[in-house]
Structure formats: C-alpha cells, structure tokens
Amino acid sequence: MNQKSKIIRLEKDGPAGLEPMELNPKDFQSDLPEQHIHVYFSDEELGLEVGVWTTTSMQESFGPYPGDEFMVVLEGQVKMVDSEENEVLVKSGETFVIRNAIPISWKQEGFLRKFYMTYADPKAESGVLPSAEGGVIVFDQEQLKMQMTLMDSTEPFVIHGEKPLQNNCVNFTNDAGNMFTGMWDSTAFESEMRAYQWHEMVHLLEGRVRITDSLGITQEFEAGESFFIPKGTRCQWTVDQYVKKFYAVI
C-alpha cells in the first residue's frame, strides 16, 4: 500500500513537526508572518492537497482566492474580508469552506492553526469572481441538521447485514461540480472491504468509527478528530452505534 492509498490520521503537529514556509512579500499587505506546514497528501496533477498549517498575525493581499478550500480551525480565529470591508469571522473549533476565485483577503490577528484540504485544478482557467458574497461558508450543525434528508443509497459503502439509516446535507458545491462539502450521519453499520470511490476529508462530530485497510490495520477515530481517505484506498468501516461528520469530497 503506497502513501496515496492509505487512511491518514491528521495530527495538529504533523507526524514529526511542521516545516517553515518560504513566503513572498507580494502576497501580503502586512509584514511577513511566520508560517509552518505539513502536507499529508498531495496530488499535483489533480491539484489536491491536505495538511496542517499555522500562521502568526498577517493580512494577505486582496485578490482571488486560489482554489476551493475546506478547513477546520484548531486554534485561533480569522476574519475573511471582502472589498467592501464586510467580514466573516471563523473561530477555533469551527469548520468552513471558501469558494475558488472570490475576491477576498485573509486577515489574521494572533496565531492560527488549521487542517485544510485545497483543490485548485491546474488545467482550469484562472480568474476572479465579481463578488465574495456567499463564498465563505461557516458550518452550522443546527442549521444543517434541519436540511438533512434520508439517503436512498449507502454509497460509498456496501453494507454487511441490516441497512443503516443515513442522512446527508450538501452545503457547498464548487463551480466545477466535482467538490462537495456537508454533514452526514448514520446509525450502526459494518461495510465490506472496498476501494473508496472518491477523495474525502472527514471531521468527526459525534460517535466513533473503526476503519480497517486492506493490510488488516485498524484505526479508530472519535469525535473531534480528522482524517483523510485517498480515492482507491481499500477499507472497511465499522460503526457500533451512531456517527456524525462534516466532510469534503473530490
């Protein structure tokens, strides 16, 4: 099993610490911050990257956001500022997504740490959207709960035994139509060992899940933890009671 077909547990300090980033002053309208990163997964041909990132205080240059990005804020908070000085505040513990190419600036006051999944198709034409309105979405569990609907299918799972009750709500679809984020829940189930049909980053909200790969290695994840499953990874899920997650899939 290679690095691109294994279940990846996201750790806030990376497996062996974070690496300092080289920064370009042109990317900032403030003094240069200190930024560190660990990339857990990268597919340059697809334009997909998953990792953990930190920054000190700064403000980025105003311009089109460079890709669609799903994030979980682990420490600190950030304000996303548009051209009319409208702000969207995202706090520690919150999950949010930003739409590709919206005109916006990342304004950072104090330290921030996040998990992220970015998607920017290198073959797509670059551009800028006329407005940032609606382009920063902070996930609200209560709001999403009211919008969830019962699923007819259990994809990407083939179920052993009794079919579980699974609900889903998609709260963001990118302009290319191949990235989706939302909230999903399920009653207890056990799935067959099967190749995963898409790339998925998960932030677990409730319950716990055991995931076993094709080598027989089992990892358990519980509420508050995040992980990433690359497309094609053969794995089996076991949920003993109930599980709820925020997710982003490509």
In the prediction, which pLDDT does 2 show?
44
pLDDT at 246: 98
The answer to whether residue 84 scores a pLDDT higher than 90 is no
Q: Can you say whether residue 17 is alpha, beta or left, with left for phi > 0 and alpha for psi between -120 and 50 degrees? A: left
Structure tokens belonging to residue 249: 């899939």
Mind listing the pLDDT tens digit for each residue in 133-170?
Answer: 999 999 999 999 999 999 999 999 999 899 999 999 99
Confidence (pLDDT) at 127:
82
Q: Which two tokens stand for residue 133?
A: 């309105």
Q: What is the pLDDT of residues 33-55, one digit of tens each?
A: 999 999 999 999 999 999 999 99
pLDDT at residue 56 greater than cutoff 60: yes
Residue 1 clears pLDDT 50, i.e. is over it: no
